[in-house]
């Protein structure tokens, strides 16, 4: 039986991710902070909510930084929300935080003066927004272009390598809603909270061999 | 493409059952919360809110079990409110599967609790619920005040100033209920909804008073709400979520 490790570094609600993965697969889902369990798993999910400084500090405290760098090279790896942002070089949040540097680029604040045309936009970007698919990736299998997913975030990913942007979203600015590189895939939205299409993406992740 | 306006059915849950009354009277049983949440999920609800109106400790445990059952079957965002007073209350609800918690009276009694909660769990999971009543007389400039205890106790706090303060304390969203309108089916209080929504930079959910689909559209178009919450129009089969969305779309509102 294949195993999926959901990395637990003490931040927020991992129940939803775990339950959604169990809902779409027969894999053994382990919510864990044990580096060995993570190294032994067939697939890895890095979720995350909350402030990036705390997230990075907790990952370091659990000695997970090198483990994440290592396992995301050679097997299907999915970052979600702050678990995506942690993969960039750095984040503006909390006065500037160095991140894992697995995707070139940075995490920026939407800020208080965000407009779409004349309309002032609220922050956090909270709710269902459309994702434009930029790459024909296996994780988009059976998901129509411009499908709406559930977002909740105040910071967004500015990717340096446009060829890694698998999906983009508009909210005052255009930002990377999904990044792909080798076995790594990362999404800013919450597939575990995005109903049918979110579950389809998780099902695609479970079926994916890590190549594209 | 733009962010969709959200429709949020709200379930008032007491001892594990969904109930709905008019101004806390004539409470009717509307069924099992998980079953109802599943139905709304299938109909395209954008989020689900549970308000725990149970007073007993046993009822609280039942609520955690209900949240757990719901979170393992319904994969859209779930907010839980009612009686949230401590960091531990929040942790228990988030661990049971809630995505956001709504803090009401505890914020009024101890505003710093909101700060502490946002620092611990992130603003995205902390909603501050505001129960407001108009206190200005006819002909005066409109003024709304915060009330506690189900709308019975005035606090002297101005609703708009309070919303701004809660934003600065780290609230990620405001759930604004007009106590004048709640359960009356006459529509939202559009004045307070618009005033609060324009005063803060975080999303505002309008609540209290929905009796028909035009009320939902008014809350968004005239009240400038980012999301609209309603209970009884959905529970008793008057309208489905799809019908509500189709109506909003016909009014030029972007929905999922």
B8-37: pLDDT as tens digits: 999 999 888 888 755 445 566 778 999 999
pLDDT range class, residue B150, cuts 50, 70, 90:
confident
Q: Is A160 within a domain?
A: yes
Q: Which residues of A touch B173 (CB under 8 A)?
A: 124, 126
Distance from CA of A124 to the nearest CA of B (A): 6
Convert the pLDDT of each residue in B212-236 to its tens digit: 999 999 999 999 999 999 988 998 7
Q: Is A84 within a domain?
A: yes
**Interchain CB contact of B158 with A (< 8 Å):** no
* Cβ-based neighbours of B128, under 8 Å, separated by 6 or more: B102, B103, B104, B107, B114, B163, B166, B171, B173, B174, B175
Q: Enumerate the active-site residues of B.
A: 12, 131
Strands A105-109 and A155-159 turn out to be antiparallel
Cα–Cα distance for residue pair A87/A98, rounded to 1 Å: 10
CA A118 to each of CA B27, B163, B190, B205, B251: distance values in angstroms, whole numbers, following the listed order: 45, 24, 22, 22, 20
pTM of the model: 0.95
Torsional sign, CA B232, B233, B238, B242: negative
Convert the pLDDT of each residue in A55-74 to its tens digit: 999 999 999 999 999 999 99
pLDDT range class, residue A211, cuts 50, 70, 90:
very high
> Into how many domains does chain A fold?
1
A128 contacts B6? CB cut-off 8 A: yes
For tokens 């209080």, the residue is B189
Q: Is A212 within a domain?
A: no
Phi (first) and psi of residue B229, to 5 degrees: -115, 135
Q: Is A35 within a domain?
A: yes
Mean pLDDT of A163-169: 98
Q: Is A67 within a domain?
A: yes
Provide the domain limits for residue A158.
Answer: 3-98+105-207
| Torsion from C-alpha of A177, B99, A124, B250, nearest 10 degrees | 80
* Cβ-based neighbours of B52, under 8 Å, separated by 6 or more: B13, B14, B59, B60, B63, B80, B81, B82, B83
Mutate to test the interface with B, among A9, A152, A198, A203 (most CBs of B within 10 A): A152
pLDDT at A151: 97
Convert the pLDDT of each residue in B110-132 to its tens digit: 999 999 999 888 899 999 999 99
Could you say which of B75, B97, B256 has the minimum Cβ distance to residue A148?
B256
Structure tokens at A42: 């067939």
Structure tokens at A54: 């705390």
Could you say which of B71, B124, B256 has the minimum Cβ distance to residue A49?
B124
CATH at residue A87: 3.40.50.880
Query: Do A85 and A99 meet the contact criterion of CB atoms below 8 Å apart?
Result: yes
Question: What is the DSSP track for A83-111?
Answer: HHHTTSSEESGGG-EE---SSSEEEEE--
Query: Do B179 and B135 meet the contact criterion of CB atoms below 8 Å apart?
Result: no
This complex has an ipTM of 0.93
Query: Do B220 and B203 meet the contact criterion of CB atoms below 8 Å apart?
Result: no
**Interchain CB contact of A138 with B (< 8 Å):** no
**A192 in catalytic set:** yes
Could you say which of B46, B72, B95 has the minimum Cβ distance to residue A128?
B46
């Amino acid at each position: 039986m294949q195993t999926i490790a959901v990395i637990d570094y003490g931040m927020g609600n991992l129940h939803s991710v775990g339950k959604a993965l169990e809902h779409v697969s027969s894999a053994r889902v382990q919510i864990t902070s044990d580096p060995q369990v993570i190294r032994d798993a067939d697939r890895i999910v890095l979720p995350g909510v909350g402030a990036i400084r705390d997230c990075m500090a907790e990952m370091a405290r659990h000695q997970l930084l090198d483990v994440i760098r290592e396992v995301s090279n050679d097997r299907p790896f999915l970052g979600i929300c702050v678990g995506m942002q942690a993969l960039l070089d750095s984040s503006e949040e909390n006065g500037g935080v160095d991140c894992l540097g697995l995707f070139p680029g940075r995490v920026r604040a939407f800020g208080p003066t965000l407009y779409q045309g004349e309309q002032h936009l609220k922050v956090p970007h909270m709710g269902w927004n459309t994702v434009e698919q930029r790459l024909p990736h296996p994780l988009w299998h059976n998901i129509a272009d411009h499908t709406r997913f559930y977002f909740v975030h105040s910071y967004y990913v500015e990717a340096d390598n446009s060829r890694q942007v698998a999906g983009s979203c508009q909210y005052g600015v255009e930002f990377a809603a999904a990044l792909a590189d080798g076995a790594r895939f990362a999404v800013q939205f919450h597939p575990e909270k995005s109903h049918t299409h979110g579950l389809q993406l998780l099902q695609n992740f479970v079926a994916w061999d890590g190549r594209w | 493409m733009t962010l969709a306006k959200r429709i949020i059915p709200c379930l008032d849950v007491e001892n594990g059952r969904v109930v709905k009354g008019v101004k806390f009277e004539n409470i009717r049983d509307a069924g099992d919360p998980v079953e109802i949440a599943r139905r709304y999920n299938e109909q395209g609800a954008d989020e689900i809110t549970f308000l725990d109106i149970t007073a007993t400790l046993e009822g609280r445990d039942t609520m955690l079990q209900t949240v757990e059952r719901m979170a393992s079957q319904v994969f859209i965002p779930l907010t839980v409110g009612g009686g949230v007073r401590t960091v531990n209350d929040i942790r228990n609800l988030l661990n049971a599967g809630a995505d956001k918690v709504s803090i009401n009276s505890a914020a009024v009694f101890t505003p710093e609790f909101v700060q502490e909660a946002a620092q611990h769990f992130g603003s995205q999971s902390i909603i501050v619920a505001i129960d407001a009543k108009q206190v200005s007389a006819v002909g005066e400039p409109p003024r709304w005040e915060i009330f506690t205890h189900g709308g019975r106790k005035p606090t002297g706090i101005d609703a708009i100033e309070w919303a701004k303060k809660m934003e600065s304390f780290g609230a990620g969203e405001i759930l604004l209920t007009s106590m004048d309108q709640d359960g009356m089916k006459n529509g939202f209080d559009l004045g307070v909804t618009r005033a609060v929504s324009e005063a803060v930079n975080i999303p505002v959910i309008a609540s209290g008073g929905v009796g028909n689909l035009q009320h939902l559209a008014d809350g968004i178009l005239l009240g400038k709400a980012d999301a609209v919450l309603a209970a009884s129009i959905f529970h008793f089969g008057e309208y489905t979520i799809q019908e509500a969305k189709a109506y909003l779309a016909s009014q030029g509102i972007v929905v999922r």
